[in-house]
Structure 1
């Protein structure tokens, strides 16, 4: 393995690494908030919202991530307000991941005993307050492992930004590979950068899960 590729193009690698981290963090926050909202829609007594939540999850989960990103990259351009590859890719990544997070959170909500909801409502809380303050905190603790898996998948899926010039790790690696003709070495270093992100996150999720199990 030729380490001169890493040293000679370290600036490009780090720029792509920074953009990958930034896109992943933004998409993580966006997908979690949107996923939690869609999960609530999925089990709400309001029929219209329930249909919307179900349709959203079924539609997004059954089309490719790349297509979702293309929708946000080419769609706004057709309407006259183009988005750059980084923004379009991050939005697409958030929307796609939110559908999977919604199903994980919904499973957690369904696992919370119904008595919790009844007790909250009898205490004077409305439906939204019951969900935000009583049910969701318990549901999220129950689904930490699948949520952690989705967050790790999100980081890996951020490589889709390269197809819309999103300036991520893979985007710069493509340029380095073309310049040096050392494809294998170039992408091995990319894999190492991804491992720097995913392995600590995987470990942190396991530690968090164990601590919550001891606490509750």
Structure 2
């Protein structure tokens, strides 16, 4: 027999874990955004910096996130640098999403007509003005669906931080299961909370897309 009443009696703890999951994922996405832009810029700059960016992106896109989290959790203390599990989780998620976002931005910039920058330059705009006023707004519009998917992926993948003892949603679910001995009901509740969080991100992405479309319609 299902006993969801027992699982729901721990809803406060699960909600606290959900807040940790959402906050950690959101912080990683936000900080990873400028880092992703920096990686994209470095990769197209040429020279040693470009090789570093390419290696970075290849490593974080080509290795499991769990391995990256374990490296960031165990290596710094071995070198005499104490790092809390929460900081290691934040660094792992941020560094990982930055690599994926860099490739998203690369695809966005490559999809823009090359003549736009030349036309803007002919009008007397500086390189910074061309990027900020002409190219960047279009790239954000074009890459918004991919960035929304990346945010959803990071939130789902954040469940891995429970392995390094971060009290996220999954970790709290494991703790509640150890107390109640009702794994099925507890993990169904955990899955429902993950679904709510990812749905909120999806709604935010669709709202931003609709705002972009409204702005385009009024031009």
TM-score, structure 2 normalization: 0.89
1-structure distance, mates of 2:184, 2:117: 55
Across the two proteins, how many residue pairs are aligned to each other? 214
Aligned to 2:149: 149
2-structure distance, mates of 1:19, 1:89: 11
Aligned residues of 2:7 and 2:182 also touching (Cα < 8 A) = no
Moved more, 203-212 or 128-137: 128-137
Moved more, 48-57 or 138-147: 48-57
Aligned residues of 2:20 and 2:169 also touching (Cα < 8 A) = yes
Aligned to 2:191: 191
Aligned to 1:91: 91
Structure 2 spans left out of the alignment, 5+ residues: none
Aligned residues of 1:144 and 1:209 also touching (Cα < 8 A) = yes
Pairwise CA distance, 1:144: 1.0
What does 1:116-135 align with in structure 2 at a 5 Å threshold? Answer: 116-122=116-122, 123=124, 125-126=126-127, 130-135=130-135
Aligned residues of 2:25 and 2:155 also touching (Cα < 8 A) = yes
Residue 207, structure 1, aligned to residue 207, structure 2: yes
Aligned to 1:48: 48
Aligned to 2:173: 173
Structure 1 spans left out of the alignment, 5+ residues: none
1-structure distance, mates of 2:185, 2:48: 53
SS at match of 1:167: coil
What does 1:28-43 align with in structure 2 at a 5 Å threshold? Answer: 28-43=29-44
What does 1:77-88 align with in structure 2 at a 5 Å threshold? Answer: 77-88=77-88
Aligned to 1:8: 9
Return the structure number with greater relative CO, CA threshold 8 A, min gap 6. Answer: 2
Aligned residues of 2:21 and 2:168 also touching (Cα < 8 A) = yes
CA deviation profile, 1:86-108 (whole Å, cap 9, x unmatched): 11111101111111111111110
Aligned residues of 1:73 and 1:82 also touching (Cα < 8 A) = no
- Give the CA RMSD over aligned residues: 1.9
TM-score, structure 1 normalization: 0.90
Q: Decide whether aligned partners of structure 1 residues 119 and 50 sit closer, same or farther in structure 2, where only a CA change above 3 A counts.
A: farther
2-structure distance, mates of 1:49, 1:93: 23
2-structure distance, mates of 1:159, 1:68: 14
2-structure distance, mates of 1:38, 1:87: 22
SS at match of 1:113: coil
Pairwise CA distance, 1:147: 0.8
1-structure distance, mates of 2:210, 2:19: 30
Moved more, 132-141 or 13-22: 132-141
